[in-house]
A and B are shown apart, each in its own frame.
Chain A
């Protein structure tokens, strides 16, 4: 089931998304958020992805929002602060 979801998301990312201008207000985009949420949390990830899509609406301000906080990234920013 996870694989099916990930397959659909990667199909979207490869074939559908490039045809349109970038539109997501978040980083990472809704689709990559969904991919990492589903692969890490399974069913809970699906709901996380739906909730994320609802938040990506015209009234939100977007921002940086990871499904799973990448370790590498935390190190990078802490070096930058110091």
Chain B
């Protein structure tokens, strides 16, 4: 395992130490602010690296608008067979070389980084059997950096301490607040997506929606249970990354929503309204409302195709 994990330790600790070096003149070498911001910086760096992937995904979502009639046809054709429906949908995406889904690999790729940070921070907090603090150096976090990090505090709580691993009341309070922030940001991010960001067709399957609703409330609980084992530094990392996700999603839902989602319709209506106003100013005539309704124009071609296909059979 070492040959996989050591480069990760080096990466995580190297980034933290580098940012720490850059921030030392501002906040001081031993300041907890420097250390906390170093962790925040790590998040920002990773998320910036991931932005191109995100943009790519958004672009293929936008390309989907052209496929809307075909997608609606598939949905109507396989109304009762959800499996067949998603199978045909995937075929359609592949044919047109566009796929709005995020893909599985990136999250799995992020997990080792999270694990490495966890190990690096836990190393700081390591103790001998007798209870004497004996920090373990991992990657570039060694020497004076290690000693400084072992003493660094975040609102009075040592960044290497966890809720269960400490008797300090400050640590307990800070971890509880961070766990709360972590759960709250996850909850709002998911809710925002469920309410506004997802195509409406998903709500046709009640069981899945029901399950999703349960998870929406259950997940914060799971976080709370696992969060008590995490050092403050990891909780800072997690909360920051959640804030980033939320902000990114907010921006996309507002500016570039998934076709078919409530947010998409909202935006379309807003745009139509704007166009209407502009046209009115230009030509002085009111446009026929039939032409401006996005729902009607979108549905009409799909409905016309349907009977044709049935006749062929």
Contacts and interface: CB of A to CB of B under 8 A. Distances in A.
Contacts of A62: 90, 93-94, 99, 101, 103
A15 B101 CA distance: 20
Contacts of B86: 27
Contacts, number: 80
A19 B190 contact: yes
B219 A60 contact: no
B53 interface: yes
B93 A63 contact: yes
Contacts of A54: 105
Contacts of B211: 18
Interface in A11-66: 15, 18-27, 29-30, 53-54, 56-64
Contact of B103 (A21, A58, A63): A58
B63 to A, nearest CB: 12
Contacts of A59: 56
A29 B102 CA distance: 12
Contacts of B106: 57-58
B94 A64 contact: yes
A53 B210 CA distance: 27
Nearest to B91: A64
Contacts of B214: 18
Contacts of B202: 22
Given A21-B193, A26-B90, A53-B104, A61 B98 contact: yes
Contact of A53 (B57, B91, B97, B108): B108
A15 to B, nearest CB: 8
Given A62-B99, A64-B90, A30 B215 contact: no
Given A27-B89, A58-B56, 14 more contacts: A18-B215, A19-B218, A19-B219, A21-B193, A23-B101, A25-B99, A30-B104, A57-B103, A58-B105, A59-B56, A61-B97, A62-B99, A62-B103, A63-B90
Top-9 shortest CB links A-B? A63-B94, A19-B215, A27-B90, A56-B104, A23-B102, A57-B105, A18-B211, A62-B99, A58-B53
